[in-house]
Structure 1
Amino acid sequence: MGSHEVLGQAARLASSGLLLQVVFRLITFVLNAFILRFLSKEIVGIVNVRVPLGVCWSLFLGWVWLRLLEVPDPNVVPHYGTGVVVFGISAVVELLGEPFWVLAQAHMFVKLKVIAESLSVILKSILTVFLVLWLPHWGLYIFSLAQLSYTAVLVLCYVIYFKKLLGFPKSTKQQTLPVSRMTDLLPSILRSGAFVNWKEAKLTWSFFKQSFLKQILTEGERYVMTFLNVLNFGDQGVYDIVNNLGSLVARLIFQPVEESFYIFFAKVLEREKDATRQKQEDVAVAAAVLESLLKLALLAGLTITVFGFAYSQLALDIYGGAMLSSGSGPVLLRSYCLYVLLLAINGITECFTFAAMSKEQVDRYNFTMLALSSSFLVLSYLLTHWCGSVGFILANCFNMGIRITQSLCFIHRYYRESPYRPLAGLRLSPVLLGAFALSGGITSVSEVFLCCEQGWLARLAHVAVGAFCLGATLGTVLFTETKLVHFLRTQLGVSRLTDKMT
């Protein structure tokens, strides 16, 4: 398969994933906004911050949560112990479907992913709303059962699909798979008599260490706030709601793009080789794609940062009412808007870096991640004592900045001896930068005079000002970033053509 065909498939997977994320995150956004009217900050803090951490090591951390850490008042948060156990069970259930998910992702089974995630998200959302309305006294039972139903439906969809697919050996898709029957996914003894393929085990261990350290970097603030009690349950709830709302765009846009184009880079580029020792057509395509993705991530992140500052309080007021829009909520969301910019850039740079790194480079990177994880946890603790829950976001910004620097250095070295310069995607024209700065200034003034205590007419006027500024900024993008526009049009055309052919 040529690099252009792989690029078309990656674009198709990304666009389908993006559409899926938008539709169903919108559904859950509306349902969550509705549910928040019926819950306290404390129970939200328990569900969103403490219980999911038990997913990592269900048995051990479940015991820690129930025996060593502070257990909330059962009158405020009922059924805490059962909630921890059920979340642990749901984690085990989800892990059972992991091999199927990896196969589907690697072979770009777009429709399977869309259907499986759609059904599971819809069921979880509907079940949560139903239980909150009719059985609110169930407390954590509600979220525990909803999570378990989500994982069960998700895994069941994948199992049924592959069971049917592997039952038809003449299928084109089946012939491309590395397995021919369901039992191939279970542990087995190799032909040589060994139970473990040590070469693959070493590579798996490298990625496990990387994933573990990345988990600390991604979710480290939750461990800090849980084990060190730097925030009370109410503040934890507000922080996590804002965190989920702030990362909504990252999950909507960036995650599908990162997952899809990681596969593209991994298939087009060869590990262990730099750019000069590979097929130059593939290197050129990869460089062009990376440059366009960096530009897209930078523009999306800047848009969120610039407009997020002026509309954070309004968004929180609409989403959760006074519980979120008063107090630390708006400051948290404004800080998170800056973090989203770094998230966008880091996602693209790391998806290329991890796809192109050799095993030895992955191991060296793991040592860097170890040091970064330790410094991140310490910094989170110190900054939280200094400036409250905003300190977690500032620590995340520092962490993300270091990771971006690491990836940029790798990309620079990778293409140093070649004529391609994909990092040019991080440069914007002065005209476009001026448009962003002007839009930020206008919307900030609009917020002072029109939001958020002046009534709904003033709020609508504030939204109209933002819409006008956003339109003007996007228009400037169309005129100044013609290369990116051409890339998007071309790849959308490729993905549509692929859809018709398949």
Structure 2
Amino acid sequence: MSSRDVLKNASTSASYNVLLQVMFRLLTFLLNAFTLRFVSKELIGVVNVRLTLLYSTLVFLSREAFRRACLSGETGTNRSWRQVVNLLWLTLPLGVLWAVLLVCVWLWLLEVPDARTVPYYGPAVVLFGLSGVQELLAEPLWVLAQAHMLVRLKVVAESLAMIAKCSVTVVLVVFARGWGLYIFSAAHMVYTGFLVLCYAVYFIRFLGSEEAEKKSFPLRRVGDLLPRRADGEPLVDRTLARLTWSFFKQSFLKQILTEGERYVMTFLNVLSFGDQGVYDIVNNLGSMVARFIFLPIEESFYIFFGKVLKRGRDARSQKQEDVSMAAEVLECLLKLVLVIGLVISVFGYAYSHLALDIYGGSLLSSGAGPGLLRSYSCYVLLLAVNGVTECFVFAAMSQEEVDKYNLVMLALSVSFLFLSYVLTWWAGGVGFILANCLNMGLRILHSLLYIQRYFQSSGWRPLRGLLPSPLLLLALAVSAGVTAVSEAVFCCAGGWLRRLVHVAVGAACLVAVLVAVLLTETRLVQFVRTQLLDRYTKKHT
């Protein structure tokens, strides 16, 4: 597959993933707004922080290293997919071990919530652990689908699973409110069950079909999806296994950085369950755009960089056509996420209070809620840049460099936990965001230095993507001032008419910023139109 084809597939995948994440965030957004009217914030805190942390820790530590290793390199050319499938099935026993360990910790070492406000905590912990193990049954199929760009499968499977989860939650919240945590445990089991079912049904129909032949799919029968030894081959590829082990060691540290605030809240009890619920809701609102735009871009273009560039070689040792394309794509991606992040930071400050008041009423808009969301709006900018820079760095690093970076991640993890604990006692929930900002800044600095060294001997300078045009900066600065004044004058205690005026002012400022982008960032506009929008629209025409 040529580099151009890889770019096309990565762009298509990113477009589909953005669409998928938009739908997910909207459904979750509406579901949270609905459940806020029926259940206590303590219950929401236990579900969204403690139980979700159990699930995310289990699946991340069980599969992340396998995903990164098996989706890097020349996946479809010089790799035995029989050995890859065998390696991927190791996620299941690993997941069982993690489930047993984590369930014991959650049941016996952590503070148990009051059964009167948060009933059925013990069974819920077990069910969330089982749901994580259940999802791992589809892991070999997920990797096969991603590696061979079966992007519509992921969209359909996760869409059906999310719709089923939301439906079960709504029905049980309305008609069986006394079930407590059983409501959310049952909904999560349904979600992971639907994922596994959709992937299994698809591959049963896909294998041996004409479509599989056209795509030169390496497996022919359903039995090929199960682990077994091929004649003349080791059970697993040792090089791939060593790379997996390197990523596995790193996954501990990355999980701490990703979910650090939840670990601090869960193990150090710096916030009550109710405050945890408010923080998590605000955190989900603040990260909505980051998750449905930045994360799909990172996942899709990690595959692109991994296939176009040879791991562990600098720019001079690569095919220059591939390096040129990688540099151009990296520069455009950096500019894209930078512009989006700046827009979120500027307009998030002036519209945080209004957004929380509309979404959750005084439960969220009073107290620390608006300050949390304003802080998170600034953090989103760092989150956006870090996602793209690490996307490139992890795809280009050699195994030895990955191992060395584990030491950097260890230092960042320790400092993050310390800063989170100290800053939370000083500034409450905002302290978590400040600690994230400091650590994210250090991660970005490390990635920028690596990218600078990588392209130093070449003529490409992709880091120029982090330099927005003066006109765009001026438009953003004026918008920040105008919307701040508008909030002070019109929002948020003067009725709906004054709020609409505040929204209209923001809309006008946003249009001015978009005009500045169209006038000055022509390469970015061309990249978005040709590599993201066109790929998606062509698939639907």
**TM-score, with length taken from structure 2:** 0.89
* Number of aligned residues: 500
Residue matched to 1:289:
329
Residue matched to 2:196:
155
Paired amino acid for 1:39: V
Q: 2:483 aligns with which of 422, 432, 443?
A: 443
- Distance between the aligned counterparts of 2:300 and 2:519, measured in 1? 28
Q: Which moved more, 1:104-113 or 1:305-314?
A: 104-113
- Secondary structure of the corresponding residue to residue 508 of structure 2: helix
- Distance between the aligned counterparts of 2:455 and 2:280, measured in 1? 40
Q: Which moved more, 1:103-112 or 1:438-447?
A: 103-112
Superposition pairs of residues 277-426 of structure 1, within 5 angstroms: 277-426=317-466
**TM-score, with length taken from structure 1:** 0.96
- Distance between the aligned counterparts of 1:170 and 1:452, measured in 2? 56
- Secondary structure of the corresponding residue to residue 270 of structure 2: coil
Contact in 1 for aligned 2:250/2:409 (Cα 8 Å): yes
Residue matched to 2:89:
none
- Secondary structure of the corresponding residue to residue 36 of structure 2: helix
Question: 1:126-149 CA distances to partner (integer Å, 9 max, x unpaired)?
Answer: 111111111111110111111110
Q: Which moved more, 1:221-230 or 1:189-198?
A: 189-198
Superposition pairs of residues 256-295 of structure 1, within 5 angstroms: 256-295=296-335
Deviation at 1:337, TM superposition (A): 0.6
Deviation at 1:54, TM superposition (A): 2.3
Contact in 1 for aligned 2:99/2:130 (Cα 8 Å): yes
Deviation at 1:343, TM superposition (A): 0.6
- Distance between the aligned counterparts of 2:452 and 2:466, measured in 1? 13
Residue matched to 1:471:
511
Residues 1:497 and 1:333: Cα distance change in structure 2 (over 3 Å)? closer
Residue matched to 2:115:
74
Residue matched to 1:51:
51
Deviation at 1:33, TM superposition (A): 0.9
Contact in 2 for aligned 1:8/1:498 (Cα 8 Å): no
Instruction: Find out whether 1:239 has 2:262 as its counterpart.
Output: no
Residues 1:500 and 1:35: Cα distance change in structure 2 (over 3 Å)? closer
Contact in 1 for aligned 2:14/2:532 (Cα 8 Å): no
Residues 1:200 and 1:315: Cα distance change in structure 2 (over 3 Å)? same
Measured on the aligned residues, the alpha-carbon RMSD in Å equals: 1.7
Instruction: Find out whether 1:102 has 2:143 as its counterpart.
Output: yes
Q: 1:131 aligns with which of 172, 196, 214?
A: 172
Question: 1:255-274 CA distances to partner (integer Å, 9 max, x unpaired)?
Answer: 11111111111111111211
Q: Which moved more, 1:413-422 or 1:99-108?
A: 99-108
Contact in 2 for aligned 1:168/1:174 (Cα 8 Å): no
Contact in 2 for aligned 1:12/1:498 (Cα 8 Å): no
Paired amino acid for 2:322: D
Contact in 2 for aligned 1:305/1:341 (Cα 8 Å): yes
- Secondary structure of the corresponding residue to residue 271 of structure 1: coil
Question: 1:101-139 CA distances to partner (integer Å, 9 max, x unpaired)?
Answer: 111112111110111011011111111111111111111
- Distance between the aligned counterparts of 2:473 and 2:515, measured in 1? 13
- Distance between the aligned counterparts of 2:260 and 2:536, measured in 1? 40
Percent identity over the alignment? 63
Deviation at 1:189, TM superposition (A): 3.8
Residues 1:436 and 1:493: Cα distance change in structure 2 (over 3 Å)? closer
- Distance between the aligned counterparts of 1:330 and 1:170, measured in 2? 51
Paired amino acid for 2:361: G
Contact in 2 for aligned 1:354/1:362 (Cα 8 Å): yes
Deviation at 1:53, TM superposition (A): 2.5
Paired amino acid for 2:33: A
Q: 1:252 aligns with which of 292, 301, 316?
A: 292
Deviation at 1:498, TM superposition (A): 6.1
Deviation at 1:27, TM superposition (A): 2.7
Contact in 1 for aligned 2:41/2:277 (Cα 8 Å): yes
Residues 1:487 and 1:54: Cα distance change in structure 2 (over 3 Å)? closer
Paired amino acid for 1:74: A
Deviation at 1:195, TM superposition (A): 4.6
Contact in 2 for aligned 1:221/1:392 (Cα 8 Å): yes
Paired amino acid for 1:295: K
- Distance between the aligned counterparts of 2:13 and 2:240, measured in 1? 27
Paired amino acid for 1:5: D
Contact in 1 for aligned 2:15/2:533 (Cα 8 Å): no
Residues 1:345 and 1:275: Cα distance change in structure 2 (over 3 Å)? same
- Distance between the aligned counterparts of 2:216 and 2:210, measured in 1? 7
Gaps of 5+ in 1: none
Contact in 2 for aligned 1:271/1:358 (Cα 8 Å): yes
Residue matched to 2:88:
none
Contact in 1 for aligned 2:157/2:198 (Cα 8 Å): yes
- Distance between the aligned counterparts of 1:240 and 1:58, measured in 2? 23
Contact in 1 for aligned 2:50/2:266 (Cα 8 Å): yes
Q: Which moved more, 1:359-368 or 1:289-298?
A: 359-368
Instruction: Find out whether 1:215 has 2:215 as its counterpart.
Output: no
Question: 1:220-244 CA distances to partner (integer Å, 9 max, x unpaired)?
Answer: 1111111111111111111111111
Segments ≥4 residues shifted beyond 6 Å: none
Residues 1:43 and 1:497: Cα distance change in structure 2 (over 3 Å)? closer
Instruction: Find out whether 1:481 has 2:521 as its counterpart.
Output: yes
Contact in 2 for aligned 1:339/1:396 (Cα 8 Å): yes
Question: 1:296-315 CA distances to partner (integer Å, 9 max, x unpaired)?
Answer: 00000000000000001111
Deviation at 1:496, TM superposition (A): 5.2
Paired amino acid for 2:54: G
Deviation at 1:192, TM superposition (A): 5.3
Q: Which moved more, 1:66-75 or 1:138-147?
A: 66-75
